[in-house]
Chains A and B, each alone.
Chain A
């Protein structure tokens, strides 16, 4: 399974804050394509964003930092705490930091949390075009790896 540019564009729209475009592109995706490739591409983009944020010089950030980050996301809007489960959100991040496993949750729930956290990480990173492209390429590679 390869990640298509269309799928990448949907991700790019999301990462660049083009929410409408993002919604539109997602809707344009095939349900299977959206559920598989696009879902893998969003997971890949989430992994890259977490590693760049919590892994510095090969060292993993403390768990507190992860927790704080999750808290901030949840604090951004009154609706967020209901949307984001801190434990699931933290487990997703800490699992990537090799500190535990991911909390058991529904795939769509996990995907929803990854999608919200990715929007928060992308919002902090404020990736430029070059960095965005590198980020997307790396996310694409990981997505493809996840889909294998």
Chain B
């Protein structure tokens, strides 16, 4: 079993399964003894990763187990004997697993495997192992050149089998301790061993487990292995630590991603180094610290409850490994959901880590085991590496912000408890501007819940980063001084919404959030909007800060410096400023000193807007700005893209300023515009009156009948008598025209007495119309009675016709008779 676990895949699978184990973790408590071993592993890995770059040998002690294990696993197949021995010793514990490995190495890899799961994975892995191992190795190598360098170095060292032996022995010791822890923690230990295993040191891990007497526990884990086989398969394919899980869809790609993650993990390992010393004793406590931080910070009350759930498994024996597993687990679901985005984010993060991680080449090896851890620390180291000195300087404010947010949440003391952790948050915060660092620390602390809730897929990490950058935005407070307040007011809403979101999300996957958070955070400026939210939430600020740090991380170097200048109280301001910057540009536009920040956030657009803003001055209200320049403000408000640009927040501020002046100007101009019009149309009532308007009835008045028209022309007032008078006068003249005074009336009357009588007599009415002829003789009716003469005439004529007819008939007959007779003749 341990052998199986020994394979990098196994460890990975364990990690993946780890959450389940955690759930099952009630048995985890036994891991507590192993917990110290876990940190040792992690520490060794991280140390090896960090220091390993420069000094592998020193790390070799701790980290050697892994690389050796890898060597063993890789070379071990060929060398089988050595590994087999170790395994044989382990066989007691590892039993079938070891035997399988041995048999594999012996048989050359074509075994069905004692354990179905192990056998399966192995047989595949065996023939494939050399291949897969080679693949995984080259992949790891390619992914992290440091690894490659390591491997070859180890190889030469490998010939120094003793190194292996030494490493084996060391690993055994460590593994024993681990195994104990595993037994204690159960799932947790298994997860750690698994983690260790996957990097390729699986054999070593298996060995450690084997010698770790609690082999049964391992075998018990074997059941887990059975569960794990999936992860194993994935892990075998990917071979990478956490990335492998993510990779499962595409092995090759997974390898690549692994490589990326590993380097990123390396820097993280460096962070761990710092942490580890404190963590070692606290290692069991580290998770507790982290958990407590995360809980207190992120969960607050709700989150705390959620954290408690997680803590059950984590507290049991979860080391950084547990977190890593958690992260991986979370990543897996996240990846499943947001696979592309997350994967990209991870890749980017990894890539970033690689760049940084290359510095910590050792981390690559160790990273295999502590891939999850690597991811976390990677963000930090990567940030450090990437950020260089600047991020550190700036990191101080960011750190402050990050911790502040955390502290705000619930754990001011946590920061001091684990300096390493504090450093990490600082780092995260510092780069936080950068984004990657903050998210991780936040993730570790309590980021997972929040982040997971907020942007489980990809957003969570950026949010954290954003929140951190918000811390970075400490300069933000400067911005806040100006118009930022206005911006803030609107933003809080978004912040509230964001807060609500996280609350919902936290369960989704705190660990996943952690893992994803850094990656996404580094990658995604997506949550630039969310940043302010996260900042507001305090818990979120971590992840959010992580995001801004990412986006801003590039440009936030200035911020960091600025932040370094003033942290403390500014942290809150910074958070607010971050919100401002992210959400809306106004904040950046406010202060010239803030300008760098604004420039960082808004970038180019900020410059343009900044001009306007300068003109307008800080007095402008954000609302006005929004109204005036909706476009500018909108991007600023949404700001996710601008925040991504890192300078966008400043840009957003710039446009805001611009907007504000615009508003003011139009207001001024408008009154002037309307002034003329008011003069034109204002009436006594204040109503606008048209110049040319027809008179109204009220004005003209009615004729008493509701009719329009002047009363003077009212026809009702007309006197018909006047016309009559005229007519009369006219008639008079006419009448007088016919009257002439006769000279002798009496004579005329006497002479006309007869015609007067005749004319006076009326004509008697006849009853006929004057046009009708009274003489009806001209017309006679056609039905008058038949007359006798006519009858005689008709009878005579008829007789004549008949006689003539008969005569002619007889004539014809005679002729015919003659012819007949003639014929006979």
Quick check: is A101 within 8 A (CB to CB) of the other chain? yes
Quick check: is A8 within 8 A (CB to CB) of the other chain? no
Given contacts A19-B753, A23-B749, A145-B732, contact A123 B738 (CB under 8 A): no
Task: Report the minimal beta-carbon distance from B753 to chain A, rounded to whole angstroms.
Answer: 6
Interface string of A104-133 (1 = CB under 8 A from B): 000110111011110110111010000000
Inter-subunit contact A40/B758 (CB<8 Å): no
For window 73-131 of A, CB contacts with B under 8 Å fall at 73, 76-77, 79-80, 83-84, 92, 95-96, 98, 101-102, 107-108, 110-112, 114-117, 119-120, 122-124, 126
Quick check: is B741 within 8 A (CB to CB) of the other chain? yes
Task: Say which size band chain A's interface belongs to.
Answer: 35 or more
- The residues of B that contact A66 with a CB separation of less than 8 Å are none
Interface string of A11-38 (1 = CB under 8 A from B): 0001001010011001101010011101
Q: Can you identify 10 A-B contacts, CB atoms within 8 angstroms?
A: A27-B746, A35-B741, A43-B735, A80-B755, A110-B742, A112-B752, A115-B756, A117-B759, A119-B760, A123-B759
Q: For residue A143, which residue of chain B has the nearest CB?
A: B739
Q: For residue B728, which residue of chain A has the nearest CB?
A: A145
7 shortest A-B CB distances, which residue pairs? A107-B740, A77-B758, A119-B760, A120-B759, A123-B760, A34-B745, A111-B742
- The residues of B that contact A39 with a CB separation of less than 8 Å are 739, 741-742, 745
Inter-subunit contact A34/B746 (CB<8 Å): yes
Inter-subunit contact A116/B763 (CB<8 Å): no
Quick check: is B737 within 8 A (CB to CB) of the other chain? yes
Q: Which of B734, B738, B743, B754 has the most CB of A within 10 A?
A: B738
Interface SS majority for chain B: helix
Task: Report the minimal beta-carbon distance from B806 to chain A, rounded to whole angstroms.
Answer: 70
Inter-subunit contact A83/B752 (CB<8 Å): yes
Q: For residue B761, which residue of chain A has the nearest CB?
A: A123
Q: In the assembly, what is the distance between CA of A146 and CA of B759, in Å?
A: 25
Task: Report the minimal beta-carbon distance from A21 to chain B, rounded to whole angstroms.
Answer: 12
Select one of A36, A47, A111 contacting B748, CB under 8 A.
Answer: A111
Q: In the assembly, what is the distance between CA of A14 and CA of B751, in Å?
A: 15
Select one of A34, A40, A72 contacting B739, CB under 8 A.
Answer: A40
- The residues of A that contact B744 with a CB separation of less than 8 Å are 31, 35, 108
Interface SS majority for chain A: helix
- The residues of B that contact A31 with a CB separation of less than 8 Å are 744-746
Inter-subunit contact B746/A95 (CB<8 Å): no
- The residues of B that contact A47 with a CB separation of less than 8 Å are 735, 738
Inter-subunit contact A115/B752 (CB<8 Å): yes
- The residues of A that contact B754 with a CB separation of less than 8 Å are 77, 79
Q: In the assembly, what is the distance between CA of A26 and CA of B749, in Å?
A: 8
Inter-subunit contact B759/A77 (CB<8 Å): yes
* Chain B residues within CB distance 8 Å of chain A: 730, 732, 734-763
Select one of A72, A116, A146 contacting B752, CB under 8 A.
Answer: A116
Select one of A14, A76, A102, A124 contacting B738, CB under 8 A.
Answer: A102
Quick check: is A142 within 8 A (CB to CB) of the other chain? yes
Inter-subunit contact B763/A107 (CB<8 Å): no
- The residues of A that contact B738 with a CB separation of less than 8 Å are 43, 46-47, 92, 95-96, 102, 110, 114
Task: Report the minimal beta-carbon distance from B751 to chain A, rounded to whole angstroms.
Answer: 7
Q: In the assembly, what is the distance between CA of A72 and CA of B770, in Å?
A: 12
Q: In the assembly, what is the distance between CA of A72 and CA of B732, in Å?
A: 28
Inter-subunit contact B757/A19 (CB<8 Å): yes
Inter-subunit contact B759/A116 (CB<8 Å): yes
Select one of A29, A36, A79 contacting B746, CB under 8 A.
Answer: A29
Inter-subunit contact B759/A26 (CB<8 Å): no
4 further contact pairs, Cβ within 8 A, besides A26-B749, A83-B755: A22-B749, A23-B749, A47-B738, A110-B738
Q: In the assembly, what is the distance between CA of A97 and CA of B734, in Å?
A: 9
Select one of B753, B762, B763 contacting A23, CB under 8 A.
Answer: B753
Inter-subunit contact B752/A38 (CB<8 Å): no
Given contacts A80-B758, A120-B760, A123-B760, contact A115 B749 (CB under 8 A): yes
Q: In the assembly, what is the distance between CA of A99 and CA of B744, in Å?
A: 29
Inter-subunit contact B751/A112 (CB<8 Å): yes
Q: In the assembly, what is the distance between CA of A26 and CA of B760, in Å?
A: 17
Q: In the assembly, what is the distance between CA of A120 and CA of B559, in Å?
A: 132
Inter-subunit contact B759/A107 (CB<8 Å): no
- The residues of A that contact B736 with a CB separation of less than 8 Å are 146
Q: In the assembly, what is the distance between CA of A54 and CA of B755, in Å?
A: 23
Q: In the assembly, what is the distance between CA of A84 and CA of B739, in Å?
A: 17
Inter-subunit contact B740/A119 (CB<8 Å): no
Q: In the assembly, what is the distance between CA of A120 and CA of B763, in Å?
A: 10
Inter-subunit contact A36/B756 (CB<8 Å): no
